[in-house]
A = this chain, B = another copy of it.
């Protein structure tokens, strides 16, 4: 077995769902990564390029069945795009080897086992919850450098926390609920065959779901609590007929005198993957589609002591696989843009 010189060898668990195939795409194009193995429940035994033809000539591997004990064989990193539950069971096994893990499921995002149980049921390895790092590099770069498990955040929390944590750290958020109203594309719900995700159900339709009790709410709250902000958060996700992308509109009660512009510029102004559009200009989802970028615009309503902050990201990019690769770059000391030097294709 030859080894590509200078490349870091990785394995992927769950490489053919929507999150998984985007991960495969990014890994295949990453100049410092060699994908040694990828599993697929649905397509084990097939060539990746037979399932997704555009991988032909770019990543010629055969998809395997998941075997947690062998997943880490000969690799330094395991990425998991398995569903929650399946992910933890696999990762517990994987961690017996000296590998780093990037998990795209919810299994290592909540630090409190009680909180995990309330939203997802019993955790198979609650003792590991404390070992993971919640992996938004802009907010936790240093801790990712040493992480054994990087819990790649949910798509919605990234769009909320990128805006809210800087405001919380600056003490800018006043009392009263923070309202987070998100509009997401259908790929966020995965590729399982469900009636409610059929084209005929999603096209020309908009609907709210999980109103007030979506599983991503505790991630947002946990992120704020970690910064000492105990404001309540009201979160409503909506499904809109786009394939990829999330627009999040955040209504934040502001402390008097809070300088939103200065807070964002000092906290995020130098970030390679965050673009501040500034006061009065708001992002289009299409301008971040297919990339690892988040764009943020805002306005302050003086009379209401409220900021409206709008963030846009690709739920499979900065809200998922892109962020995982960014975290990988941080973890392995690479330039953070490596393999992520994208420009959104317009239109």
Q: Chain B CB within 10 Å — which of A187, A211, A306 has the most?
A: A211
Contact residue among B22, B243, B282, B346 (Cβ-Cβ distance under 8 Å from A207): B282
Chain B hits for A201, CB < 8 A: 199, 286, 347
Contact with B along A37-60 (1 / 0, CB 8 A): 000000000000000111111110
Q: Does the CB pair A306–B177 fall under 8 Å?
A: yes
Determine whether A136 belongs to the interface, using a CB cutoff of 8 Å to chain B: no
Chain B hits for A193, CB < 8 A: 193-195, 198
Determine whether A209 belongs to the interface, using a CB cutoff of 8 Å to chain B: yes
Q: Does the CB pair B53–A306 fall under 8 Å?
A: no
Chain B hits for A304, CB < 8 A: 177, 232, 234
A243 and B200 in contact, given A212-B308, A343-B55 (Cβ under 8 angstroms): yes
Q: Does the CB pair A199–B241 fall under 8 Å?
A: yes
Q: Does the CB pair B200–A18 fall under 8 Å?
A: yes
Chain B hits for A177, CB < 8 A: 251, 304, 306
A242 and B206 in contact, given A195-B193, A201-B347 (Cβ under 8 angstroms): yes
- Within A204-242, which residues are at the interface with B (CB < 8 Å)? 204-209, 211-212, 232, 234, 236, 238, 240-242
Q: Does the CB pair B285–A206 fall under 8 Å?
A: yes
A224 shortest CB reach to chain B, Å: 14
Q: Does the CB pair A53–B206 fall under 8 Å?
A: no
Chain B hits for A206, CB < 8 A: 183, 240, 242, 245, 247, 284-285, 312
Q: Does the CB pair A346–B52 fall under 8 Å?
A: yes
A286–B286 Cα distance when bound, in Å, is 16
A183 and B238 in contact, given A54-B291, A211-B310, A299-B212 (Cβ under 8 angstroms): yes
Contact with B along A1-30 (1 / 0, CB 8 A): 000000000000000001001100100110
8 smallest beta-carbon distances between A and B, as pairs: A200-B347, A54-B344, A199-B202, A205-B286, A186-B199, A206-B247, A193-B193, A181-B181
28 contacts between A and B (CB under 8 A): A18-B347, A25-B346, A53-B275, A53-B277, A54-B342, A54-B344, A54-B346, A181-B249, A186-B200, A199-B241, A203-B203, A203-B243, A203-B347, A204-B204, A204-B289, A206-B245, A206-B247, A207-B283, A207-B285, A208-B247, A208-B249, A232-B304, A234-B251, A236-B308, A240-B241, A240-B242, A244-B347, A316-B345
